[in-house]
Amino acid sequence: MTVELLFWDGCPSHPKALADLREAMSDLGLDPETILIREIREEVDAAAEDFVGSPTIRIDGSDIQPAEGEPYGLTCRVYHRRDGRISPTPDPADVREALLAAQAKPNDPVDLDPSAQAGSSSR
């Protein structure tokens, strides 16, 4: 599983988002040290990365809260907490749920060694 946190330094929310992400990963037995932290510095980079705001968390390349139709740009991202509040960071429960969903996905078959599959359960 590849977990990425993309941020723009003009928005002060990424430290909290990273802390929430680390905590969720630790709780699920995942190594928070594997998080790929990437800074988006320029508008051109935001366009190239389809970066719609800071922070953005992607798991295996998928945004944990897809924002279709949002323009890319160097800005703070608006999230909605489960209780309806607007927040600069995703709800920790949503982060955890996205990680759980990614954990539950079967591995890509091309990455599997057929001899190792016998008798093993996929995660």
Partner 1 sequence: MPQIGEPAPSFSLPATDGSVHGPDGAAATVVVFTCNHCPYALAWHERIGAVAHDYSGQGVRVLAINPNDAGRYPRDSLEAMRARVEAGQFDAIPYLRDETQEVALAYDAKTTPDVFVLDAGGVLRYRGAPDADYEDPSQNAAYLRGALDAVLAEREPDPAQTTPVGCSIKWKPRSKPVD
What gap in Å lies between CA 1 and CA 59, rounded to an integer? Answer: 7
* Half-sphere CA count of 92, side-chain side, radius 13 A: 12
Part in contact with partner 1 (CB under 8 A); list of ranges 34-42, 57-65, 82-90, 94-102: 82-90
The closest alpha carbon to 82, from 97, 70, 69, belongs to 97
- Determine which helix (DSSP H) or strand (DSSP E) holds 48, and give its type and residue range: helix 43-48
Of 1, 4, 11, 49, the one binding partner 1 by CB under 8 A = 11
Part in contact with partner 1 (CB under 8 A); list of ranges 30-38, 78-86, 92-100, 114-122: 78-86
CB of 104 to partner 1, least distance (A): 30
The closest alpha carbon to 94, from 109, 82, 107, belongs to 82
Of 32, 35, 73, 91, the one binding partner 1 by CB under 8 A = 73
Interface residues with partner 1 (CB under 8 A) are: 10-13, 43, 71, 73, 75-79, 85-88
